[in-house]
Structure 1
């Protein structure tokens, strides 16, 4: 049986239901001062709105050291009846104070493994996802180190690897490293933010490599995500890659439309462009495969 590790324990992958494949209930970063998502009451309201639109699972990509509030995730999951998947992993160096990186980088793989198998801090909440990040059109030294640790942790735990592509770039370089040098099967990798770099060739290449492609962060005025998204997804589906597509809200700062918008506004638009079955696959069947633990 395929299992997904949620904050309340492992569940059969087929029970995820409608899934927001990339979002954040809580996140903070020195790179975004004053724009923290750190309010449990606000997170509760967003979850309630998401559930009212038919949402059943949220995958939170907030990694180590960025205000995950794992204990609150578990409490919200219980109170709101919504499954939540938490992440371990490490973001780009710019998202951390230097002393944090100096402390964690030497033992990064073991940290990831511990948070997946034993729990995050003293909460007992186990991560079900490893989140790492590339650089702009590059895999820099920091990314190579974190991705090597992520690959090692994946091989030891079976947890999938989710990758923040900086402005949607460097998908090929990321896959060369993770799946070429480091031996991770492409179907265990989720590439995020591909819609922010609307290069159809790069998207097709990533799909042909076998990775899951997450189109996330809708309705950002400085990104052409909304008006290009139906055509991008249709092109990939018509090319035979509909089973590798995921969609998410990626709420990172206050005021992002996020979870409710994903289902209330974006889903009907995608249904008109691609059909009900294709969108159902992106929201239900594909996440069930993408976020399952390998070998579980």
Structure 2
């Protein structure tokens, strides 16, 4: 596992928030930036106080991930942090800057994974709503090259939880990324249990990540979606994350923030589905999903 303080054994990660953000900036979220180190530390401390051990920050290149701040936050909070490289949807970037970076994406991703002062441990990409646009295809191709060069896992933002199988086909069939190296995020937003089951059967990870934000039409189905995967024999494919993307969503403001994963969801998982499932979802599965046999890029 590649953390911002160096590589650690996956077993050392403990309870994991599999998708969240300490820092994030986007023109699509103007005025709602996550850019306060003190608030980030408070959030990490609250997560740690409830038994949290690791946070995976999915903020990719060019979105204010502030990698230079993460080692100190990890040391002060006692929480492992995994940073991300990769690219989000095109709307999150200045068009001119995006054009400039397109031709060097694989090298950019590989550099952030292997030689940067603070190294990333995840490649983050994104799909579009119910389809894959040219941007998504280009970034996915670069992410696959970076994966094959380094062994890093690939996390996918699914817009509205859609196009999961399209992304899986693109990464795994076209670009030969092993399904077990792919984490498909936001599937709670599209609670089609057949799609969830197909993803799990393929060997990829199903990430339910978003209780820090309101998805009123689907939030109430989260436990049912998890139970359906467990009943289908796939408790080993499920991940949970908070996905805090605005300052207002933090527990230090008006939202549930990172702590809710452990103060709200974990007790329900243990009570309604089982302690063994909670352990798999929060500890065992992320240790496997975010681990990598790190390779030196050729």
Same fold, judged at TM 0.5 (above): yes
Match of residue 49 from structure 1: 46
With 183-192 and 203-212 compared, the bigger mean Cα shift is at 203-212
What TM-score does the superposition give when structure 2 sets the normalisation length?
Answer: 0.95
Aligned to 2:192: 199
Q: Output the CA distance in 1 between the equivalents of 2:77 and 2:246.
A: 22
Report if the CA contact (8 A) 2:110-2:149 is conserved.
yes
1:255 is displaced (CA, Å) by 2.4
Question: In the alignment, what sits opposite 1:96?
Answer: 93
CA distance in 2, matches of 1:144, 1:136: 14
Deviation at residue 214 of structure 1 after TM alignment: 0.6
Shifted more, 144-153 versus 211-220: the winner is 211-220
Q: 1:219 to 1:75 in 2, by over 3 A?
A: closer
Which residue pairs with 1:66 in the alignment? 63
Q: Does 1:145 align with 2:142?
A: no
2:30 to 33, 37, 40: 33
Matched, 1:84 2:81: yes
Match of 1:129 among 98, 115, 122: 122
Q: Does structure 2 retain, via aligned residues, the 8 Å contact 1:160–1:294?
A: no
Cα distance between partner residues in 2 of 1:142 and 1:289: 29
Deviation at 1:270, TM superposition (A): 1.5
1:118 partnered with 2:111: no
Pick from 217, 221, 227 the counterpart of residue 224 of structure 1: 217
**Structure 1 residues 63 and 188 mapped into 2: Cα distance closer, same or farther (>3 Å)?**
same
TM-score for both structures, normalised by structure 1? 0.96
Report the 3-state secondary structure (helix = DSSP H, G, I; strand = E; otherwise coil) of the residue aligned with 2:145. helix
1:12 to 6, 9, 15: 9
Question: Does the 8 Å CA contact 1:218/1:225 hold for their aligned counterparts?
Answer: no
Alignment match of 1:173 (pick from 166, 178, 181): 166
Most deviating of 147-156 and 93-102 = 93-102
How many residues were matched structurally?
289
1:192 and 1:103 map into 2 onto residues whose CA distance is: 28
Measured in 2, the distance between the counterparts of 1:267 and 1:214 equals: 15
Deviation at 1:202, TM superposition (A): 1.1
Q: Gapped runs of 5+ residues in structure 2?
A: 250-255
CA distance in 2, matches of 1:125, 1:146: 22
Contact 1:59-1:84 within 8 A present in 2 as well: yes
Aligned counterparts of 1:167 and 1:225: Cα–Cα separation in 2: 11
**RMSD (Å) for aligned C-alpha atoms:** 1.0
Residues 225, 46 of structure 1: alpha-carbon distance in 2 compared, 3 angstrom cutoff: farther
For 2:290, the equivalent position in structure 1 comes to 291
Structure 1 unaligned residues grouped into runs of 5+: none
Indicate conservation of the 8 Å contact 1:116/1:126, yes or no: yes
Is contact 1:16–1:57 with CA below 8 Å preserved after alignment? Answer: yes
Cα distance per residue 1:116-160 (max 9 Å; x no partner) = 0001xxxx1000000000000011100000000000000000000
**Cα shift at 1:218:** 1.1
- Inter-partner Cα distance in structure 1 for 2:149 and 2:141: 13
Q: Does 1:186 align with 2:179?
A: yes
- How do residues 233-248 of structure 1 correspond to structure 2 at under 5 angstroms? 233-248=226-241
Q: Distance in 2 between matches of 1:260 and 1:48?
A: 9
